[in-house]
């Protein structure tokens, strides 16, 4: 991002679910912009793959295996990240589970596991990061929602839809509550993106989904990451409580 019109450097971002797909693209763009990044993932294999891809000798990136639903462990995790990098200025709540069960087949376990990661995890990550964000440089919270949270979606389950709608409402509420501290809170709502999540669907469902997009294709992780970069920039300082749709025109509102 040499000669980029936006300012990022000398700040540290935490990216949950940052070891693959959209999260890895966000991490990569942040590193290219000169920021430090702490990746959190619950899967060691994904962290190992991210290390290899990003070049683990890069001192600006660190890798942390943790399950964000284990709230009791978050304070220590975040304190360790702060000690390692020297600050926490940006939190990207990206970690998420997709479920594609029908209304009739959704179990309590399905519902609880998805809401735990997608919504509960995002709230408590934000809560535990607050002491550091309040002292941060141009502090930001950036939540990753979904087109499903905007208009219900087409090929996902209702636990996912509810969690992503909740993320949007959480963004609005946090934006008001945290504004007095100078912390902005914004949200990116992607449509269907080329990722492992989309590949959970069968080929025919994927083909039908593409027909829903006026632009005639699904999106890329890099396109979502670019939207996140605007909210992370110091120049976005007067933008809070916003939802940016990156969905090829599927939802316009």
Handedness of CA 57, 30, 124, 145 (dihedral sign): negative
Specify whether the CB–CB gap between 139 and 87 falls below 8 A.
Answer: no
Helix axes 158-178, 121-133, angle to 10 degrees: 20
Among 184, 165, 41, 80, smallest CA distance to 126 is for 184
Specify whether the CB–CB gap between 114 and 161 falls below 8 A.
Answer: no
Specify whether the CB–CB gap between 74 and 68 falls below 8 A.
Answer: yes
Handedness of CA 171, 250, 227, 62 (dihedral sign): positive
Question: How many whole angstroms separate alpha carbon 145 and alpha carbon 155?
Answer: 16
Please name the helix (run of DSSP H) or strand (run of DSSP E) that holds residue 92, with its range, or none.
strand 90-93
Quick one: tokens of 244? 């940016």
Question: How many whole angstroms separate alpha carbon 113 and alpha carbon 97?
Answer: 8
Which member of 53, 132, 154, 160 is catalytic?
Answer: 160
User: In the annotation, is 160 catalytic?
Assistant: yes
For residue 54, give every residue at least 6 positions away whose Cβ sits within 8 Å of its Cβ, in sequence order, or none. 27, 28, 31, 61
Question: How many whole angstroms separate alpha carbon 176 and alpha carbon 115?
Answer: 23
Catalytic positions, written as ranges: 160
């Amino acid at each position: 991002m040499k000669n980029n019109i936006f300012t990022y450097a000398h700040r540290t971002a935490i990216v949950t679910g940052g070891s693959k797909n959209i999260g890895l693209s966000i991490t990569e763009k942040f590193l290219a912009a000169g920021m430090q990044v702490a990746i959190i993932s619950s899967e060691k294999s994904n962290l190992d793959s991210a290390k290899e891809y990003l070049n683990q000798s890069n001192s600006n990136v660190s890798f942390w295996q943790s399950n964000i639903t284990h709230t009791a462990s978050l304070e220590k995790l975040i304190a360790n990240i702060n000690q390692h990098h020297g600050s926490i200025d940006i939190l990207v709540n990206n970690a998420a589970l997709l479920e594609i069960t029908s209304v009739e087949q959704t179990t309590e376990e399905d519902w609880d596991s998805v809401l735990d990661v997608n919504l509960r995890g995002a709230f408590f990550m934000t809560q535990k990061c607050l002491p550091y964000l309040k002292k941060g440089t141009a502090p930001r919270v950036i939540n990753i929602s979904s087109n499903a949270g905007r208009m219900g979606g087409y090929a996902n389950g209702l636990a996912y839809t509810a969690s992503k709608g909740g993320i949007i409402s959480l963004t609005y509420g946090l934006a008001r509550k945290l504004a007095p501290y100078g912390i902005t809170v914004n949200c990116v709502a992607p449509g269907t993106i080329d990722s492992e999540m989309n590949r959970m669907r069968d080929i025919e469902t994927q083909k039908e989904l593409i027909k829903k997009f006026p632009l005639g294709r699904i999106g890329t992780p890099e396109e979502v990451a670019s939207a996140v970069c605007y909210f992370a920039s110091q120049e976005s300082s007067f933008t809070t409580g916003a939802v940016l749709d990156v969905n090829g025109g599927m939802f316009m509102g």
